[in-house]
Amino acid sequence: MDRRKFIEQSVMAGAAFSSLPLLTSLKRTTQYKTALIGSGWWGTNILRCAIQAGESKVVALCDVDENQLKLTSGEISKLTPDKPKLYKDFREMLQKEKPEIVIVATPDHWHALCCIAAIESGAHVYVEKPICHTIQEGRAMVNATRKHGRIVQVGTHRRVSPHNISGMEFLKSGKAGKIGMARAFVHYGGGAGQKTPDSEVPKGLDWDMYCGPAALVPYNKTIHPKGFRNYLNFANGTLGDWGIHWLDQVLWWSEQKYPKKVYSTGGRAIRQDNTDAPDHQVALYDFDGFTLEWEHRNFAGNNAEKTHPQQAVGVYFYGTEGTFHMGWLDGWTFYPSNPNKPIIHQDAQLNKPDDQNIQQLWANFLSSIKTNTPPVCEIEVGQRSTNLALLGMLSYKLGRSIVWDGEKEIIPGDDEANKLLRRDYRGEWKYPTV
């Protein structure tokens, strides 16, 4: 097959897959009662796509920050005549509004409790990645989904991006040859930063509820809004944030569920700010037949490593026939080992304004609800990818390698490591039953 014909067929296949739910004839005569938990900028992006799909009646917005609630409420009023009620406690919202669909877009440490509560209330859930903060939380989310028979879609939207779909078809076809190694990476520039003093909690923010099951720490404006991802009390740093997207691409390609062994190292060589997540990190995952490497760096940005004028992100798959780069804004590119063969490239097809494909993922979510079939990013798919990131962080915290029993989801004979599969919750919050 020549290059042009392959690209045309790949684009058609990807477009057909990603647009299929949009063409469904199963559109309901009544809209789904939809609620958003976590009304920050990203949650608003997801809700915007839900509204644009035309099958949601927005009944509630929930956030511990009244200021953010007001901002989102104003934004939503421009998109729909719906008048959602505003809540600060998701439990009250679920009880009073009884939504049919719930979007969970909180900081990571809240994902499990909010998702499980929504499932138990009878709702289908769209939960942001990573699905959880600890490995046993993810297992509890999968178990709740199965027990209550709900549809849970995880926000790994690269599973529906047209260039990711055609790129996977290329890899699975064997055109890159036998792949023995993959390297996933995110490199961004940055510097040491500086310390920011703690301050009074802003008016309208329930800081105790924001911390929730996590340790109650002093308020700092570098945590909220938007900065929580580099605080290990609330998230798992760059590996927890970006890692799930690119590590998921490797699981998708390989069709393997988990690694056998994991080792990670890194640290804070440059950062001197309030955060405590590593500013650089490497993780190695031992799979059957290949090795996966993760690396990130949040300093020393340079032009040598950029895969796109704005960024250096993605996955390199190293095969006997050449090297394949799966990217984001730059689509994908195959570099043949044979210098006489042409480089093959496909551009990305992303939706504005955020260069993502949430629209297609939401359409797939709706189609799955109507047909009671698993969505493309169903909860166990998201759990496996999240686990890769969490296992890397677990090894990093231990300072040594671990052996992983993926079927039992334990680290055999290693009590010290197994303690990190969960964490103690604070106050009234109860760890979900696994």
DSSP annotation string for 264-299: EEEE-SS--SS--S-SEEEEEEEETTEEEEEEEESS
Nearest one of 103, 89, 131, 127 to 33, comparing CA atoms: 103
What's the confidence (pLDDT) of residue 355? 93
Which portions of the chain are predicted below pLDDT 50? 1-25
Cα R_g (the chain), whole angstroms? 21
Nearest one of 294, 256, 257, 293 to 278, comparing CA atoms: 294
d(CA 55, CA 274): 43
d(CA 109, CA 87): 19
Nearest one of 159, 169, 156, 155 to 346, comparing CA atoms: 169
Report residue 69: phi and psi, to 5°. Answer: -60, -45
Residue 384's alpha-carbon distances to 248, 299, 409, 423, in angstroms, are: 8, 29, 10, 19
Helix (H/G/I), strand (E/B), else coil: 184: strand
Q: For the segment 299-327, what is each residue's pLDDT rounded down to a tens digit?
A: 988 888 888 877 799 999 999 999 999 99
Q: For the segment 175-202, what is each residue's pLDDT rounded down to a tens digit?
A: 999 999 999 999 999 999 999 999 999 9
Q: For the segment 117-148, what is each residue's pLDDT rounded down to a tens digit?
A: 999 999 999 999 999 999 999 999 999 999 99
Question: What pTM was estimated for this model as a whole?
Answer: 0.93
What's the confidence (pLDDT) of residue 113? 98
- Buried/exposed code over 313-330 (b: 16+ C-beta within 10 A; e: otherwise): bbbbbbbebbbbbbbbeb
End-to-end Cα distance, the chain = 49
Q: Which residue has the tokens 């600890």?
A: 134
Q: What is the DSSP string of 185-249?
A: EEE------------PPPTTB-HHHHHTTS------TTTTTTTGGG-TTT--HHHHHTHHHHHHH
d(CA 257, CA 429): 31
What's the confidence (pLDDT) of residue 24? 46
d(CA 306, CA 313): 8
Q: How many CA atoms lie within 13 Å of 99's alpha carbon, on the beta-carbon side?
A: 30
Burial status of residue 14 (CB atoms within 10 A of its CB: 0-12, 13-18, 19 or more): buried
Q: Which residue has the tokens 């309208």?
A: 204
3-state secondary structure 113-135: HHHHHHHHCCCEEEECCCCCCCH
